[in-house]
Amino acid sequence: MASPNGGDDFESSLLSFEKLDRASPDLWPEQLPGVADFAASCKNPITNSPPKWMAELESEDIEMLKELGSLTTANLMEKVKGLQNLAYQLGLEESREMTRGKFLNILERPKK
């Protein structure tokens, strides 16, 4: 059996007093590229100019973002399901129109 103080000796033998220089980029490379730049840009959140991605948005787009942001999870999921159904219906309609165009020979290339 080990003595009661034997556990302390074992734990103290596991301690490391090595000093690591965390300032070195070689020792501590950035794990996710761009995170440091993003974090630096978030340090000063109060700016007068809108972010780059908002520059191209129109007022209707901003209103839609606000509307979607105010939805609950269940309402947002319902909205997504509605968009999926709409996309499916548009796909069916496009398929019908392409078939119709094929039968009417309006999609053939003109012969030279």
What pLDDT digit, counting tens, does each position of 20-60 carry? Answer: 666 655 555 666 677 777 777 776 656 667 777 777 888 89
Q: What is the residue-averaged pLDDT of the chain?
A: 80
Residue 30 lies in a domain: no
Q: Is residue 84 a part of any domain in this protein?
A: yes
**CA–CA separation, 25 vs 98, rounded Å?**
57
79 within a domain of the structure (yes/no): yes
In a domain, 100, yes or no: yes
Could you tell me the residue range of the domain that residue 99 belongs to? Answer: 72-107
CB 83 within 8 A of CB 91: no
**56 located within any domain:** no
If we measure between CA atoms, which residue out of 107, 86, 109 comes closest to residue 97? 107
**Taking the model in full, what pTM does it have?**
0.45
**99 in a structural domain:** yes
Give CA–CA dist 95/17, Å, rounded: 70
Asked if the structure places residue 17 within a domain, the reply is no
Count of structural domains, the chain: 1
Portion of the chain with pLDDT greater than 70, in percent: 76
- Is residue 91 assigned to a domain? yes
